[in-house]
Structure 1
Amino acid sequence: MEDEETPGEVNKTPDLSTLYMPQIVSKAIDISLAKELKNLLFGSSLCCFSEEWKIQSFTFNNIPQLKYGIVQKKGGPCGVLAAVQACVLQQLIFADSNRNRDTRCLQPSEAHRTQCLSLALADILWRAGGHEKALVALPSGRQQFTPTGKYKADGILETLILYSAMRYEDLIVFLQQNIHQFEIGPYGCILLTVSVILSRSINL
């Protein structure tokens, strides 16, 4: 692939994840970054995500007429869900110029809507990183640091591994390979929020 490829051209590729391994750099989160994230999100490193946030991922509706829709389980992270839903709809309706733009595009197969979700998340994260980089935060299942001092553990931030992509193509492949973390969860909404913040940077 050429570096000059635009995101629009990449979107037409059906599934890159089986073609090559993405060039991704990973590192564990540390307590100072976790504190910065909590201070930015909550105003204090002693606060934690609510249960409404913890149980929310980007799970699709299985009612036939609403298969394009992301289900909100409880109140809370509706702003994040709305933004992702808009980008998923953009992929479903406009990404494939060969598709008929009628109601059939809103009745996607499970595989196609998952593909659109991964492309939507890639677009969001790539824009957050200024079209130069993106960072994806995924849970490792174990603590990466020992919480000390004025920091309240929530069982999520302490387990994160941060994966950096410097090419849009690599980001798409990585998200396709790990999309279940966002779609099925359990912390999909939190993972995306943290990923967007870190792609953009704490300072910005």
Structure 2
Amino acid sequence: MGDREAEHTVPRTELEQIASKISDLNKWREIFSFHGSEISHTTHQRGQGSAGDGALGAGAPAGTRPSDPPCAVPRALLVPPDTGGQPISLEMATSLRKLLFGNVFHIFSCEWTRAYFRFREPYSDLAYALEAGKGGTRTILMAVQAHIIKYLLFVRNTEYTHLERLCRISRQEQGEALAAALADTLWAAGGDGRAVVCLVTAAVRVTPSRDYKADNFTERIQLFEFSEKAAAQEFIFDHINCFKGEGSHGVILFLYSLIFSRTLARVQEDLDCAATPLLKFSFGNITCTQAVLSLLLTGRASPHQLDGGQEPGPSGAGVEAWRQRVPVGYLRWGRAPAERQVCPWLRTPRLPVWLCGISGRHSVLFGTDSLLLSDWKRERVFHLYFYNGQQEQTTTAHLTIDTHSHHWEEDQSEDPSRPEKRRPSVEMAIRTKWAGATVSWNGTDPFF
């Protein structure tokens, strides 16, 4: 019996050792691959001699030493030293890192450093749409997407109506919409009184110390503060490629701008002195916490801001009740029984645009009728549109919502989570706002 046990024990131990070595090998391969691609990309940029290089000089960037690691951001996307602004300090960089990760030694993954605001083709069915992957940056990209839709549908002056306002836009108009969306979000985080825009310079502004792990990106940040939203929006548009250019680290730059617009101290206050950082590690991925989501939607990084709360008042109850609502709303639904409901004032925004958190993934739901949420008569039968950010989606999904259908004939005692009673997750999210509504996909196969 002992010999038989030994025969099984030895192979199992050897397999565990092999599995451990493979895991370590994959980890180091990713690290070396990432740093190798940075060096290769930067070397390629230096050898191009593009028009963008001329502004910074043909030699090494000012403020760098031969021993400095290369910056992964292309030179054409680095702001010249005479642009102005305030350089980031070691104290600011340290506090920022602690707010994001809870310590000063974690840095962003390849997925995050490669993320930027990339639009679909102009003058197409999805000209308004950003591409969003399945990783942790998706939350930020889709929140900004909601603000882009709000701008294109309800703010921008144009001769087009309905969905034409979204698809008949040029590449320049895509940049204008992105600048407006970023400025709106930063301005709200600044309490409607300030906005801070973070860009990257060639010079290293922070000397790393033993107590801070440099990433060769944060140490090059330059902060530009504005006391007028229009000026911030114009500045962002003038430097829009710093957010939508490949290699720009655009999503990280926007997240930094969001935090500095709110201020490091206020973000810490919003967190209620909690030790929980703004980002969390989950199965090797870096994802946004509810505090980041709250900062994107409400301008405050409160982890409890999205839950509970009081109804802002019935539709049409007065201008003050309407003003209390946020411009972009939030709907959330998950199959987990413990999923908490979103507060009523986020389910009823001023305009019919919602960021949707569906089973942990984010997408956008919107309508083209600006008065939809101001007149209850318009909420009987109406149209909404859905975009999930995935490359596989080639057209905007058109949904018809009927809130006066015969839903009361359903057996209310039956559990909707039962397999035979399950409906598409998007429909369940819609029902958190309009209970019992029926949803028609108008010929499109239901997805998400």
Deviation at 1:100, TM superposition (A): 3.3
Deviation at 1:111, TM superposition (A): 1.2
Deviation at 1:98, TM superposition (A): 4.5
Q: Who is 1:119 aligned against?
A: 180
CA distance in 1 between counterparts of 2:163 and 2:132 reads 23
Q: Conserved in 1, the CA contact under 8 Å of 2:151 and 2:181? A: yes
Deviation at 1:101, TM superposition (A): 2.7
Bigger shift: residues 115-124 or 177-186: 177-186
CA distance in 2 between counterparts of 1:187 and 1:74 reads 17
Q: Which runs of 4+ in 1 moved over 2 A?
A: 96-101
Q: Who is 2:295 aligned against?
A: none
The one of the two structures with greater contact order (alpha-carbon pairs below 8 A, sep at least 6) is: 1
CA distance in 1 between counterparts of 2:255 and 2:170 reads 26
Q: Who is 2:137 aligned against?
A: 77
Instruction: Report Cα offsets for 1:64-120 as digits up to 9, x if no partner.
Output: 221111112561211111110000011111113544332211211111111111011
Q: Who is 1:50 aligned against?
A: 109
Q: Who is 2:250 aligned against?
A: 188
Please report the TM-score for the alignment, with normalisation by the length of structure 1.
0.84
Q: Conserved in 2, the CA contact under 8 Å of 1:92 and 1:113? A: no
* Higher Rg: 2
Rate the CA distance shift 1:26–1:152 in 2: closer, same or farther, 3 A: same
Q: Conserved in 1, the CA contact under 8 Å of 2:191 and 2:262? A: yes
CA RMSD of aligned residues (A): 1.6
SS in 2 for 1:136: strand
CA distance in 2 between counterparts of 1:112 and 1:174 reads 15
CA distance in 1 between counterparts of 2:119 and 2:258 reads 21
Q: Who is 2:195 aligned against?
A: 134
The amino acid that maps onto 1:45 is V
CA distance in 1 between counterparts of 2:207 and 2:133 reads 31
CA distance in 2 between counterparts of 1:60 and 1:136 reads 21
Q: Conserved in 1, the CA contact under 8 Å of 2:132 and 2:142? A: no
Q: Please identify which structure carries the higher helix content.
A: 1
CA distance in 1 between counterparts of 2:220 and 2:202 reads 6
Q: Conserved in 2, the CA contact under 8 Å of 1:45 and 1:150? A: yes
Deviation at 1:62, TM superposition (A): 1.8
Residue number among 112, 124, 148 corresponding to 1:88 in the alignment: 148
Q: Conserved in 2, the CA contact under 8 Å of 1:60 and 1:67? A: yes
Q: Conserved in 2, the CA contact under 8 Å of 1:143 and 1:159? A: yes
Q: Percent identity?
A: 32
Q: Conserved in 2, the CA contact under 8 Å of 1:182 and 1:191? A: yes
Report whether the alignment pairs 1:202 with 2:261.
no
Residue number among 68, 89, 107 corresponding to 1:30 in the alignment: 89
The amino acid that maps onto 1:147 is P
CA distance in 2 between counterparts of 1:112 and 1:170 reads 18
Q: Who is 2:418 aligned against?
A: none
Q: Conserved in 2, the CA contact under 8 Å of 1:25 and 1:165? A: no
